[in-house]
Structure 1
Amino acid sequence: MAPSEQKHHFIPRFILRRFVPEDQPPAAPAAPIDKGRSPQRKQRRDFLVNKIDLERSVLTQRPVSTEFALVNMYRDPGFDENPYHLEKKLANLEGQVSSIVQRACDRFSQNLTLVLDRTELDRLRKFLFLMKYRNSGMFDRYNYDNVDQYQADDRERMISYMKASGFRKPRDVWFDNLRRFLDVEMDPARSWMHTLKAQMYPDDAMMMEIHIIWSFIAFCKPASSVDEFLLTQNAYCIFEGPSTIRMDPASQQVKSHSYTEYHNFAPLSPRLIIILRSHLLPSQGQDNEALREFRNQFAMFTQSQHLHPEKAKSILQDLPIQPCHTKYTEPDMRSSKSLRTSFRKTDKFEFQCFKISSRHTTLINNIFLEEAHVTSSVVYHSRESLKASLENYFKEATDGMKTIFKPFDRRSLYLNALEKILHGLESSVNCRKTILAPKILNYRVHMSLFVALEVAVELLQSEEVETLLPLPYLILKPGASKQNFWNDVEQAGLLMLLRIKVDRALNISPLTDSEKALVRENRQDFFMKFPTERLWLYLKISRNMNKFHSDDFTKRIAALDLKGVEDEFVSYIASESSPERRSILVFYTGTKTGTCLWLGDTSPSWAECTKYTDGGTKGPFDCTADDFKDAYSFIIRSGDFRLAGAGSADSGNCQDGFSSSETGCQVKHVRGFTPN
């Protein structure tokens, strides 16, 4: 029998519970104790955390039990008898570290120091590294069934290792590495470093060594009582330091060229964080002059690997932290080598909690927010602190932050979502972005694409039900993914751009009116070939172009109008079970008094049309022939369209705007999208 599915946290519950706000809904009545459950083991209440849902661009609350968790994340397929052995080992480590964190919180709240022995410190250091390695981002790096899908920068070394070790899937390498990390005994002599390199993928063994040996840890809290740390989905696996990126002209993908990790982070609560500082940076209390000189030389070499070495510095270099005070049980101070051989489990490490300024707290939160664009949620403690953090991030002018390569890239969508959230918190601060368009791409942002993005984000926010995509869009395109949606948004924006370009060209063209009409008709025929859901988005973009300033289209001058007659078409489809309803004829005509809409697959009379006012509400009267005279019109799906009451085709007496045919009077240019 296959084991049941489990939710596995990549950020433990004991940390999430420290971000729980005081304002909680009333507790549910206690459930009766299961017969198989020990009476002493009480079920803990599932508290709610505040979060930004980046999938829907809204603020919400979610249970601790479901946040920052994936189904069967640590289910090891190589252990059929005990597939969840990794989760059990992680839970055991988390239990040990949670007591250390509790002691730290208690001691620092009394302005006292925290003392750990070497075993406890090594346990904490292993936990902090595994928080980096087990994160969803690292899991996604390996989560493939075939090595051909693995595209990380160590691809060639990974292929060689998998062949030599008999692995078939990159995911199996991750499971094996995780098991090795959990099982290794971190002895005082540090022989564990050689053990890992011999037993597992060497690159990741070196990753743990660098994380633990080449940095020191410092506990920090905000000096200001109103400052708080955010908890992003990837907070434990991001770093502060220079990163040189390059654009691949062939794939148009941004790729990392070189990076340096000066600081890593481990938020423990809104008011407490562990910062891991690289020994590449100078700190008070470092070793002798010779060792400092060696580190300076190595730091210079590291900086030289970047495109601009003079800029490859740390924005947190002046952070007022230093290594802990160490008390060796049997110290041998003759040399650094002799000192390492004298390490004992009973060595003591005394930590103080450093108070950091609002500027440093802001910089750390800015780093979290800068890297959260690849995630789906951000946990925060209070709305006031969230508002301040977003405002500070939007105002930040640090070179390289909030850089957009294309108008519809993931960071661009993310920043727009945060901007909506911040404005919802009654802030007027707008995001200060840098649009970096590589010359080789010659990619410029047009107003049509900007408006398309704004409309799409507001559509996502306007949904009352908790769907990841607008419900009308899902009706038109069942089973659509978020990637499908954003692709259709971009394509709808390009349709708007094409319409603008064609109209602009026709305005200065020497063509006759009839020739211009033919061009527009051909354009309209071209538009009719696109999917209905894309045209649904196009109509909303078209209707909202005038809601933005013509000289600076990043400034909105009126509220967006998201409701329109195209939604009646969607409602009609939703009310019918037949899939053929998706290809019915829709006739829409704009008049001076409002809008006439008819939905159906048979020929209507005037009385079967329904008039809408400009606000989109039904009027007290039906459409008449006058409503169609001198009006613009289009259909979303073409077909044989006849209107009773338009005149007599037999006598050639069709009204203006209609032409005679064998089946009666028909609308001229029924394929037309609304011209100016």
Structure 2
Amino acid sequence: MSTHSLGLKVPVIMSSSAQTASPKPEYQHFVPQFMLRNFAHKYTGPQRSKKGNKKKKQADTLYRGELVVNNVNLRAEPMTIEETKVSRILGNYDMYQDTSQPTGQQQRQIETMFGKLENHVSTIFRRIVKTHESGEPNIWVTREERNSIRKFLFILKYRGSTFHRRFHHETSDEYPANDKSKLQKYMEEKNFKRPVDVWFHGLKTILNLKMDTENWKQELVKSMYSDDAMWFLMHSEMMYMAICTPSEPDAEFILTDNSYNVFEGPNTVVQNPATGKFHDSGWTSFHEFAPLSPKLMIILRSNLLPVPEEDKHPRIRAWREEMRKQAVDDWYGASQQSNLADLPIHKARNNYSQVVNGRTQLLPGEDGAQLKTHKFCFSFFPITEEHVNKINLILFDNAHRCANIVFGSRDSFFKTLEWFMTCTPTLGKKIIGDAQEERRKFLMNLAILMKSLGSAREPVWTESTAPAMSDFDKMHALERSLREGLADWMLSNKKELEESPIPPRGGRFAYMSLGGSDQTFLEDMQEAQRMLKRRIKVDVNSQGLPEADRIEARERLIEKYFTYPSNILLFFVKQVRYMVLSRETGGHLERAMENPRSQPEEPEDIIAQALHDKMTLEKLNRLMYKTTMNDIDRTKDPISERMLKECGIKEVESLALSQEMIIRQHDLGMIKGLPFHFINSDEKIELLTRVMAKPKFQAALTGKIEANLLQALEDVLFGISYPTPPIKPPI
């Protein structure tokens, strides 16, 4: 089921976190106090304290004039609006306390590093807030300041409560997320004892990251857990930043525990009928959010969405359209749009380019290099109350696992809460996925809170069930398993390729022989999946057309695929095999899913390893594709549609051509033992050519193909690519 989310995109959490003991517990914020102060006011009520021991009374006692925030306590029954100290909200005890270190100072090293980054960024954010309050329309920041903001925003995501629940465990067996096996392999390689050590290492790596060096991206991927490193790159490089402010004086933004972890964009959830578990089968982030104050919100917008001044350049527009097609259109349909697509925002202007006739151009003397002297001008974009409500809706909709919702004024909060609870449910509020009871209880409690604040309106939401996994979703699950197996292999067994006296064979090694690596296989897997989706859509969209037109449409697309990198096409033909054979032979996919890491060698693997450096890319791709199709369908038609003399292997082409000339000098009618009496003369000549060329095949390629692959290549070519009757040469 596709929902336009509202998604919280983090690995699936399936258990509670472990707690790290500390002799002197320290309350550590995942939302810094300098940001909370933007939502705060001075306490004016009576001095009060909660029941408990003396230390707790001292920590929770409120004093007049002390900074507090308005917040909804989501864990109270019923939910209540409270005033809470800035120093005691949106945090947890000893979140970053590294108990593997011997001294207290070393144990709180990460908190100290956070403090340095926060001190630096807080000056930038205070300047932003004060500039906005003074009525200025925009603010200039340096490249270094912008990079610091981008790093800080990701840190807010990565150090938050969601990631704390994901990583804060003492053993890898307790790790609850869906990348468990990959993380365990990474921990083994890097000698990490606990999942939390991986988290601490990642936090330190990003905190120490210098984003002004030429190779910082490559160094980042090498230095930390690759999945999270790629997440940082996507967050910082594939989205641009804008600052929004409500245009109406009484509209305000809210702040939840996980504000920095949610996104807006399509998200597809399916339920596995075998396990009952829910899985994301696809998601795309159009927008992410970083509340600065009730009146300021940083929006991160995906580069998949149009940028008019850049899209005036044909090459940039074509690149953006292709990226969107692959990430969105091929998965969710071209009609899938962002609910915030009409936000009146654009990329920051700068001091090294200008917009001329609606098109971005570099200033004289600029060559595209990123310099420290560059500055960026961020406008404060006024947005309507409707847009503010839509953004708050996304935060509300993902707050079912939060402890608090912080807000500025009660009147503004009441208005946005009532809008969220009573608006039509098409934008969210779907009870679906792996937390249905949590979501239902959350919405019911918010409805009670709304009524207690004086609303007479009725809340609405949608009860929805996720569909069972289709064959395509099953194949997607297999792809995830294969990808995981390949990732494990890439991370742990590269030496096998280097040390083996005979080149090892199989799908994984075939992929590497085509140029694939641990840096590319994730992208290649995803691209192959998108290719399959496009191929399926051709059949769906051409239903009702003449069959000749449908065939032509399929062939046009496949011809385009022959120009793709061979390592991607290899994955594509394998996914076609899994999909088709599961349906045709009843259970191929299920058998493959039982043990996806130990699959038999397939013919396209042999072709890839034997011929990767002997043919042009297009010919190699054509041969791999045709061989796989024949392997799938060889029982239906033993005669290939193409000639052996056009196979793309020059030695075999010469051999086949010479044998055909000999055959044509004889009377076909005098040749006995040829099967398929019903085929025409050209087809008979082709079959005879194969029969005569087969015994001479190995001699033609001896010394040019590795000996241990030569027989296997012969079996593939004459058994699958160009099926050959088992008869003796008649001439």
TM over 0.5: yes
Q: In the alignment, does 2:384 pair up with 1:384?
A: no
Q: Where do residues 233-244 of structure 1 align in structure 2 (5 Å cutoff)?
A: 233-244=257-268
Partner of 1:96: 120
Which of 20, 34, 37 is equivalent to 1:14? 34
Cα distance in 1 for partners of 2:385, 2:260 equals 21
Classify the secondary structure of the residue corresponding to 1:138.
Answer: helix
Cα distance in 2 for partners of 1:240, 1:290 equals 27
Which of 184, 188, 192 is equivalent to 1:167? 192
Task: Give, in angstroms, the shift of residue 334 of structure 1.
Answer: 10
Q: 1:219 touches 1:275 (CA, 8 Å); kept in 2?
A: yes
Partner of 2:372: 345
Q: 2:43 touches 2:66 (CA, 8 Å); kept in 1?
A: no
Cα distance in 2 for partners of 1:18, 1:431 equals 31
Classify the secondary structure of the residue corresponding to 1:399.
Answer: helix
Q: In the alignment, does 2:399 pair up with 1:372?
A: yes
Q: 1:283 touches 1:321 (CA, 8 Å); kept in 2?
A: no
Q: 2:101 touches 2:107 (CA, 8 Å); kept in 1?
A: yes
Partner of 1:70: 92
Q: Where do residues 293-442 of structure 1 align in structure 2 (5 Å cutoff)?
A: 293-304=318-329, 306=331, 308-310=332-334, 312-328=336-352, 342-399=369-426, 401-405=428-432, 409-437=437-465
Instruction: Say if 1:298 and 1:14 are closer, same or farther in 2 by CA, change over 3 A.
Output: same
- Letter matched to residue 407 of structure 2: Y
TM-score (norm 2): 0.54
Cα distance in 2 for partners of 1:345, 1:440 equals 53
Partner of 2:245: 221
Cα distance in 2 for partners of 1:259, 1:339 equals 38
- The one-character-per-residue Cα deviations of 1:344-376 (angstroms, maximum 9, x if unpaired) are 112111111000011111100000000011111
Classify the secondary structure of the residue corresponding to 2:400.
Answer: helix
Which of 153, 178, 181 is equivalent to 2:206? 181
Structure 1, unaligned runs of 5 or more: 29-42, 442-676
Cα distance in 1 for partners of 2:460, 2:141 equals 44
Q: 1:53 touches 1:59 (CA, 8 Å); kept in 2?
A: yes
Q: Where do residues 586-605 of structure 1 align in structure 2 (5 Å cutoff)?
A: none
Q: In the alignment, does 2:144 pair up with 1:119?
A: yes
Instruction: Say if 1:98 and 1:439 are closer, same or farther in 2 by CA, change over 3 A.
Output: closer
Instruction: Say if 1:365 and 1:252 are closer, same or farther in 2 by CA, change over 3 A.
Output: same
Q: In the alignment, does 2:82 pair up with 1:60?
A: yes
Classify the secondary structure of the residue corresponding to 2:424.
Answer: coil
Q: 1:215 touches 1:278 (CA, 8 Å); kept in 2?
A: yes
Report the aligned-residue RMSD: 2.9
Partner of 1:467: none
- The one-character-per-residue Cα deviations of 1:186-243 (angstroms, maximum 9, x if unpaired) are 21x4522111111111111111111111111111100000100000110011111111
Q: Where do residues 275-674 of structure 1 align in structure 2 (5 Å cutoff)?
A: 275-286=299-310, 288-304=313-329, 306=331, 308-310=332-334, 312-328=336-352, 342-399=369-426, 401-405=428-432, 409-437=437-465
Q: 1:74 touches 1:175 (CA, 8 Å); kept in 2?
A: yes
Q: Which has the higher contact order (CA 8 A, sep 6+)?
A: 2
Which range moves more in the overlay, 381-390 or 397-406? 397-406
Classify the secondary structure of the residue corresponding to 1:225.
Answer: coil
Percent identity between matched residues is 31
Cα distance in 1 for partners of 2:261, 2:432 equals 23
Task: Give, in angstroms, the shift of residue 309 of structure 1.
Answer: 2.5
Q: 1:220 touches 1:272 (CA, 8 Å); kept in 2?
A: yes
Partner of 2:550: none
Task: Give, in angstroms, the shift of residue 74 of structure 1.
Answer: 1.1
Instruction: Say if 1:420 and 1:398 are closer, same or farther in 2 by CA, change over 3 A.
Output: closer
Cα distance in 2 for partners of 1:348, 1:209 equals 21
Task: Give, in angstroms, the shift of residue 284 of structure 1.
Answer: 3.6
Q: In the alignment, does 2:250 pair up with 1:230?
A: no
Which of 102, 114, 120 is equivalent to 1:80? 102
Task: Give, in angstroms, the shift of residue 399 of structure 1.
Answer: 2.8
Instruction: Say if 1:163 and 1:394 are closer, same or farther in 2 by CA, change over 3 A.
Output: same
- Letter matched to residue 451 of structure 2: H
- Letter matched to residue 445 of structure 2: A
Classify the secondary structure of the residue corresponding to 1:220.
Answer: strand
Classify the secondary structure of the residue corresponding to 2:297.
Answer: strand
Q: In the alignment, does 2:162 pair up with 1:142?
A: no
Instruction: Say if 1:341 and 1:68 are closer, same or farther in 2 by CA, change over 3 A.
Output: same
- Letter matched to residue 358 of structure 1: E
Q: 1:266 touches 1:273 (CA, 8 Å); kept in 2?
A: yes
Task: Give, in angstroms, the shift of residue 335 of structure 1.
Answer: 9.9
Q: 2:141 touches 2:376 (CA, 8 Å); kept in 1?
A: yes
Q: 2:254 touches 2:392 (CA, 8 Å); kept in 1?
A: yes
- Letter matched to residue 40 of structure 2: V
Instruction: Say if 1:76 and 1:108 are closer, same or farther in 2 by CA, change over 3 A.
Output: same
Greater percentage in helix: 2
Cα distance in 1 for partners of 2:442, 2:236 equals 33
Number of aligned pairs? 422
Cα distance in 2 for partners of 1:208, 1:44 equals 42
Cα distance in 1 for partners of 2:29, 2:45 equals 23
Q: 2:400 touches 2:442 (CA, 8 Å); kept in 1?
A: yes
TM-score (norm 1): 0.59
Instruction: Say if 1:286 and 1:154 are closer, same or farther in 2 by CA, change over 3 A.
Output: farther
